[in-house]
Amino acid sequence: MVDQRDVDSGLARGPGLVGEVSVGPSRPQHIMGDQQQHRSIVPLRRPDHNVGYNSVMSAVGVDIGGTFTRVAVDGTVVARWRTDPDYDRQLAALAAVVPADPAGIGVSVGGRVDPTGRAVTVALNLRGYEGRALRDDLADAFSCPVRIAHDATCGLLGEHEYGSLRGADRCGYVTLSTGTGYAVRLGRGGHFVATTTEAGHQLVAGNDRPCSCGQVGCLETLTGGRALERAGTRLSDVDDDAFWRDYAAALARGLANFALVSGVDTVALGGAVAVRRAGLWPVLRERLADILTYRPLTVVPAALGEDAPLSGAVVLLTAPEGSVLH
């Protein structure tokens, strides 16, 4: 079981990018700090020989989010740019920053991946990526093994390997960012199954907001950043205690349902909303305690902050075959 005290002290803030720069579509820029140093995330494990990697080559992680794309090489973030909604331009942008002859590329993507792990099937915030064989296109472009998975699954893998879910056998990860993603991991050691669920699209009674998925009343319309911005609310600008109480109440109901259905006992919250809003946590835990009267749920900040999906993208490269379901 994860000790909540170990992850509460300061981790909710999450690590910030050093000298991060936003640039235009398909124009990635290397991230430089005051000393012209790239920022390290976690000491990512290199893929091993059992899956055909060359240990002297670079392991590359890519996080394609609904708003930003980031690239890490051997555990160091080297580039960040606004995700290009045009699929082909996005691939060209990746080609500009991924080193030659990488050992392998793990990709976290903000969308549903088909059962074979080849293509993006549903990407509500990146419609131009739907139906495109992202794994095969990258493998052809870089002549290396490639694995892709939903960003919530990658966030879960990163947190379990390096963050606040280490040692947890029945755990979940929730990303509160452009959208809302939920993933679950059940099992011990190398014997586990991890997958993304659609808990962000559970229907909330009394909610009449239309969701980009086509349904009306999805939890994501109450907790996702882009949905709330469409409703005229920018989460980064909100400093209203009443708003955050309502937000925490909606999130608590969603987390309770997620835990009761999946059987997880520990959940890490990641994404910009979770890591930057310290005042969210006391209210959220209070509401969860009111709802879950017989089966407690431990909710902790994602220790890797916004880096969880990026870290997990490389962990994905070493995951046993069949352990990650799409």
**Domains located in the chain, CATH noted:** 17-153+307-325 (3.30.420.40), 166-306 (3.30.420.40)
**Residue 127: both structure tokens together:** 């419609």
pLDDT higher than threshold 70 for residue 35 = no
Using DSSP, state whether 312 is helix, strand or coil: helix
Question: CA 204, 159, 309: angle at the middle one, nearest 5?
Answer: 75
pLDDT above 70 covers a percentage of the chain that reads 77
Span 208-230, average pLDDT: 85
Count of residues in the chain = 326
- Which is nearest to 294 in space by CA: 322, 249, 242, 259? 259
Highest mean pLDDT (candidates 10-24, 101-115, 231-245): 101-115
Whether residue 179 contacts residue 194, with contact meaning beta carbons closer than 8 Å, is answered with: no
pLDDT band, residue 238 (cuts 50/70/90): low
In this prediction, residue 240 carries a pLDDT of: 72
Strands (E), the chain: 29-30, 39-40, 59-64, 68-73, 76-82, 104-109, 112-113, 120-122, 146-150, 170-176, 180-188, 191-197, 266-270, 298-301, 324-325
Whether residue 269 contacts residue 165, with contact meaning beta carbons closer than 8 Å, is answered with: no
Number of helical H runs and strand E runs in the chain: 10, 15
**Residue 322: both structure tokens together:** 């069949």
Burial of 221-254, coded b for 16+ CB within 10 Å and e otherwise, reads bbbbbbbbeeeeeebeeeeeeeebbebbbbbbbb
Does the pTM surpass 0.85? The reply is no
| Average predicted confidence (pLDDT) for the chain | 82
Using DSSP, state whether 24 is helix, strand or coil: coil
pLDDT band, residue 290 (cuts 50/70/90): very high
Span 78-96, average pLDDT: 96
- Which is nearest to 125 in space by CA: 109, 107, 105, 147? 109
